[in-house]
Amino acid sequence: MNLQNCLDVVQRLFEGDLPKAAELASFIDACAPDAFSGPVPSEAKNMESLFLAEAGLEARPAEPVCRIESSLSSDEAGRVREELFERARTRAREHFGNSIYVRGLIEISNSCRQNCRYCGIRAGNGQAERYRLSPEQILECCSHGYELGFRTFVLQGGEDAWFTDERLAELLKSIKASWPDCAVTLSVGERSLASYRLLREAGADRFLLRHETADPVHYAKLHPASQSWQNRMNCLHALKTCGYQTGAGFMVGSPWQTTECLVKDLLFLRDFQPEMVGIGPFIPHAQTPFAHFPAGSVERTLVMVAMVRLLLPFSMLPSTTALGTAAGNGRERGILAGANVLMPNLSPKEARQRYRLYNNKLSEGAECADNIRDLRKRIQAIGYDIVVDRGDFRAC
């Protein structure tokens, strides 16, 4: 794939035309050739075989894919990325102007019944310092956030059994009664259709549940056999059925992720049409099976953010904490690649320090909601402005 081929793909994406899978894969490899930030550990192959066997699957050689070989120099690849980012910014500004929406993130618990292999708060991490915010603490966070100008609260946590449907429903009703002009987003994992419906009726407006990967075999490598890709898909469709503004998303550069996996993610998003998409680089955590795997490429992550902006022009796209962690200016670079949402942290300091999904997760500085003025200045410096708004999805 030469320079003109790549620029043609950018133009087609801008016009709303999604190229075929092989061409998309070739394009991603051409403009962001490095999938990982370093070498894959020597034990990766044995781990892959073990995880597949646990899931009742066999390791098979990858099927040959008809690719267009890339002949781009590093300068040409950089030019393609800049053209892609510029088109993504143009599309975002058409629909949102220079507005950046903020959500106040409240990490309600780091207890989790699941054992995802990439996550620092997984059930199997015996070194995690567990905590759980009380409903009163959560309401205090909302009150403080409202004073700071937040009009969306995101209640995020592990799949903590203490937060039953009834307790979450009562909490939602209290938030809505106190701050009726605010939206509430939940990010509390896989639940039943009945649970999702009850929480929606109690006042939840949105729900974030990353699909993680649209490839079932890749999913089996990232999760134990007790966790099912099909169940994750069922949960996402149940959320849509209940009327939530629904968020999906994926990590870039997770172990054994191929470019074909990323193409499947794009095709899934095109068909599912989520209102929100969270995309960030994989970053390893020291107390997980993936401790020695390299982080995902920041450049490849930004390419995926921009492609999703062109694929889903009206979507709410966060410039994620993981991007800010992976690169000092990652938050700004995400916005300049088409993102339009930031999620500063409203959690108490002791909770922020314990909610460690990956190594060196940002929780202070501009990532802390109390420093919203500093964050506003940083965003204004790149030509955007933080607005006091719920930031609802609008397909118009």
What is the per-residue pLDDT across 102-120, written as a single tens digit (0 to 9) for each?
999 999 999 999 999 999 9
pTM of the complete model: 0.95
Q: Tell me if residue 42 falls in helix, strand or coil.
A: coil
The H-or-E segment that residue 100 falls in is strand 99-102
Number of H helices and E strands in the chain, helices first, is: 15, 9
Q: DSSP letter string over 233-246?
A: HHHHHHHHHTT-EE
Angle between helices 165-178 and 135-148 (to 10 degrees): 30
Query: What is the DSSP code (8-state) at residue 184?
Result: E
Question: What digits encode the pLDDT tens for the residues 145-201?
Answer: 999 999 999 999 999 999 999 999 999 999 999 999 999 999 999 999 999 999 999
Return the HEC string of 282-326. Answer: CCCCCCCCCCCCCCECHHHHHHHHHHHHHHCCCCECECCHHHHHH
Question: Band of the pLDDT at 371, cuts 50, 70, 90?
Answer: confident
Question: Band of the pLDDT at 353, cuts 50, 70, 90?
Answer: confident
Question: Band of the pLDDT at 365, cuts 50, 70, 90?
Answer: low
Task: Tell me the average pLDDT across 15-30.
Answer: 96
Question: Band of the pLDDT at 358, cuts 50, 70, 90?
Answer: confident
Q: Poorest-confidence range of 47-51, 149-153, 358-362?
A: 358-362
Q: 62 pLDDT exceeds 80?
A: no
Give the span between the Cα atoms of 171 and 180, in whole angstroms: 13
User: What pLDDT does 325 receive?
Assistant: 87
Show me where the domains of the chain are located: 83-387
- CATH value of 83-387 in 3.20.20.70, 3.30.540.10, 1.10.645.10, 3.10.20.90: 3.20.20.70
Nearest to 282 by CA among 308, 313, 261, 311: 261
CB 355 within 8 A of CB 121: yes
Q: 68 pLDDT exceeds 80?
A: no
